[in-house]
Structure 1
Amino acid sequence: MFPVSVHLLLAPLLCPGVSAQWGRTPTCTGATECFSYVTLCRDTEYESRAYEPSHWVGTQVLPAERRYRAITRLREYFNKKNRPGILIERTSPILTMYGNVNGVPREMAVFFYLPRRFLSNPPIPRDELVYLSNSPAQTLFVRSAGSIFFNLKRASQELLEDLLRQREIFMQDRFYLAEYHRPLSILGRRNEIWFQALGPVRCGSRFGSGQPTG
C-alpha cells in the first residue's frame, strides 16, 4: 500500500561548484506554472537535474483501476474539490510513479504539481483518496522517452542500465514518468523518465557544466 504521508522524492545531491538558479523548464507549454530545475550535467545518455523544493497533490492508482481514474480525482481537486473550494491553475508535469516489480513497471500513484503560491498553505483535499505530498530539493536522472508511442518498460530499463554502467547511486526499485502535455493531446507531446539520485552525481570530464534552465 502506498503511504498517504509519502514524501514524493528525497534529498538534494548537487555537483560541487554548481549553484542552484531555478528557471522555467523549456518543455513548459500550455501550463501556467511548471516544476523548475537546474541542469547539472548532460551527455548522450541522460542528464542530471537539481530540482527546487515543491508541493504536490497525489492519489494511488488502486488495484483494478485504470490510471485515468486517478488522474480524474486530481483534476477534480484542481477544479474546486478542495477546501476552501478554489480553482487551481493548470501546472506541469503530471507524474506517475511506477514500481519496478521484477523488471515490469507497475503504476503506483499519480501526482500533480502545486503552484509555488501554495507551498505554505496548500488547499486541503475533500476526497479521502487524495493527499498532499511535500518534496525537498532533490537531484534526478532524466531521459526523454519520446512522444506518443514509446515502450515504457524498455525506456526505463535502458536508463536504469545506463545509470548502473556509469556507477551512479540511485533508487532502483521505482521511477517516474513525467508528462508535459494534456493527456488527450496528440501533437507536441513530451515524456521523460526520472530516477531519483541517492548519492553525489558523477559530474566528470564526460559531462558539460551545469546550466540553469530558462
Structure 2
Amino acid sequence: RELFPGLVVLVALMVSVEGGVGPSNNSSFCSESKECLEYELVCKTDEYEVRHYSPTRWLSTDAEAYFMGVGAAMAFRRLFQYITGDNNRGLQMEMTAPVLVRIPEETRMWEPAIYTLSFLLPAAYQERPPTPTNDKLYFTEMPSMDVYVRSYGGWMLSVTSRLHAHLLTKELVRVQADYNHTYHYGVGYDSPLKLLNRHNEVWYVAEGEAVCSDPQEPTPPHTPTPTHTPNATHTPNTSHTPNTSHTPNATHIPSSTIADSPSDLPANRPPTPSQAPEVTPSQGPVVGESPLANSSDPQVDGPWNNTVEASLEDTPSDNSVADPTELNLA
C-alpha cells in the first residue's frame, strides 16, 4: 500500500517528461529531425504567440565569448560529440530540435558574456541519459512554462537575434505583459546545411498569466481607421464649376457694346468684324470649310468667319474685306 502511491507518482513523472518530445511530423517547421519539442499553442497575435511547454530534460554547456555566434560554435562541438558517442555508454543518438541558446540581457560590447547552449534529449533518454565524459557538459531540467515567441527566417546571428528580441520586448511592454527580463532564448530548428526556408525564434519566459490581448486598444491592432471628411455630404462639389456671376468676363460682353463705344477706339481704326459687309450667296462665291479649322470645332455661319475665310482665298473676291495690314493708318 505504501509503494503504490509512489509508483503512481513515478509513472506520472515519466509520462510528463516524455510528453514534451514527439515526432517531427507534428510541426510544420521542425522537419529535419526525427523528434522535436512539442508544445501547446495558448494564443496568437499579429506580433507574437504564447506557447505552453511541458517539463523536459536537456544537455547543456556554457561558453564565454564576445559574440553569440562564437560562443554557440564552441558549445555546439561539445554537445555534438556527446550524441555521437562521447558518453559513458558510447551511445549514439539522433539529433533533435530545437537547439536553445540562453542569452543574457545585460551584456556590453567590450565585455564577454556567458552563453548556454542546450540539446534536447531524445524521448528514449529523457529519464536515464548516458553520463557525459566531458566535465563541461551537464543536464538541465526545463520546468513547465509559458513563453512568448516571435518567429523569423534567415540565420540566427547576434544582430538578428538582438533585433527580434528587441521587437518582441517592445510589444510585450506595450501590452503590459510580465516576463523574465534577465535573459531570453535564441531558438534554432535547422542544420547549417539548410540554406532556404529557415526557421528561428526568440523566447521570453512569461511570468504570471500570459497576455494575448491589448488592454490599450479596443480594436484589433493593425486595423486601419477610416478617414472621414467633415461636412462632405452637405457641401456641394463646385470645384469644377467656376463662379462667374460676380466677375464679368469679356466673353460675355456683346460685340455691339464694344462697337457702340467709339470714344474708346482710335479714329483711324479699321472696321471691326461686326461692321464688315455681309457676304451672301448672290454677292460672292460660297466659301467651304476652312482648311485651318479643326473638324471637331463648331462652325458658325457668321460674318466674322466668312470674312476670315475669304481672306485666305488665293484669288480675292470683289466683296472680300480688305486686310487690315494693307490699310493706310497714317
Q: Which of the five TM-score ranges fits, normalised by the shorter chain? A: 0.7 to 0.9
Q: Which amino acid counterpart does residue 41 of structure 1 have in structure 2? A: C
Alpha-carbon distance between aligned partners in 2 of 1:103 and 1:45, rounded to the nearest angstrom = 27
Please name the residue that 1:186 is paired with. 195
Is the 2:21–2:123 contact (alpha carbons within 8 Å) kept by the matching residues of 1?
no
SS at match of 1:71: helix
Alpha-carbon distance between aligned partners in 1 of 2:166 and 2:212, rounded to the nearest angstrom = 22
Aligned residues: 188
Structure 1: which 5+ residue stretches go unaligned?
1-19, 208-214
Is residue 210 of structure 2 the alignment partner of residue 201 of structure 1? yes
Is residue 98 of structure 2 the alignment partner of residue 96 of structure 1? no
Q: Which amino acid counterpart does residue 51 of structure 2 have in structure 1? A: R
Please name the residue that 1:45 is paired with. 47
- Larger % of helix: which? 2
Q: Which amino acid counterpart does residue 140 of structure 2 have in structure 1? A: S
Q: Which amino acid counterpart does residue 72 of structure 2 have in structure 1? A: R
Deviation, structure 1 residue 204: 4.3
- Counterparts of 1:1-214 in structure 2, within 5 Å, are 24-63=26-65, 66-101=71-106, 106=113, 108-148=115-155, 151-204=160-213
SS at match of 1:74: helix
Q: Which amino acid counterpart does residue 145 of structure 1 have in structure 2? A: Y
Structure number with bigger Rg: 2
Change over 3 Å in CA distance of 1:41–1:184 after alignment to 2:
same
Could you report, residue by residue, the CA deviation over 1:156-198 in whole angstroms, capped at 9, with x for unpaired residues? 1110111111111110121111100003421231100000011
Deviation, structure 1 residue 69: 1.4
Deviation, structure 1 residue 63: 4.2
Could you report, residue by residue, the CA deviation over 1:48-87 in whole angstroms, capped at 9, with x for unpaired residues? 0001211100100134664211101000011011121100
Could you report, residue by residue, the CA deviation over 1:113-143 in whole angstroms, capped at 9, with x for unpaired residues? 1112222111111100111111122111001
Is the 1:96–1:107 contact (alpha carbons within 8 Å) kept by the matching residues of 2?
no
Q: Which amino acid counterpart does residue 137 of structure 1 have in structure 2? A: S
Change over 3 Å in CA distance of 1:66–1:136 after alignment to 2:
closer
Percentage of matched positions with identical amino acids? 28
Deviation, structure 1 residue 21: 9.9
Is the 2:65–2:115 contact (alpha carbons within 8 Å) kept by the matching residues of 1?
no
- Larger % of strand: which? 1
Structure 2: which 5+ residue stretches go unaligned?
1-18, 221-330
Change over 3 Å in CA distance of 1:140–1:147 after alignment to 2:
same
Deviation, structure 1 residue 26: 2.1
Is the 2:21–2:122 contact (alpha carbons within 8 Å) kept by the matching residues of 1?
no
Could you report, residue by residue, the CA deviation over 1:72-114 in whole angstroms, capped at 9, with x for unpaired residues? 1000011011121100111001111101115879551101111
Q: Which amino acid counterpart does residue 68 of structure 1 have in structure 2? A: A
* TM-score in terms of structure 2 length: 0.52
Is the 1:181–1:188 contact (alpha carbons within 8 Å) kept by the matching residues of 2?
no
SS at match of 1:198: coil
* TM-score in terms of structure 1 length: 0.79
- RMSD in angstroms over aligned alpha carbons? 2.6
Is the 1:147–1:190 contact (alpha carbons within 8 Å) kept by the matching residues of 2?
yes
Is the 1:52–1:136 contact (alpha carbons within 8 Å) kept by the matching residues of 2?
yes
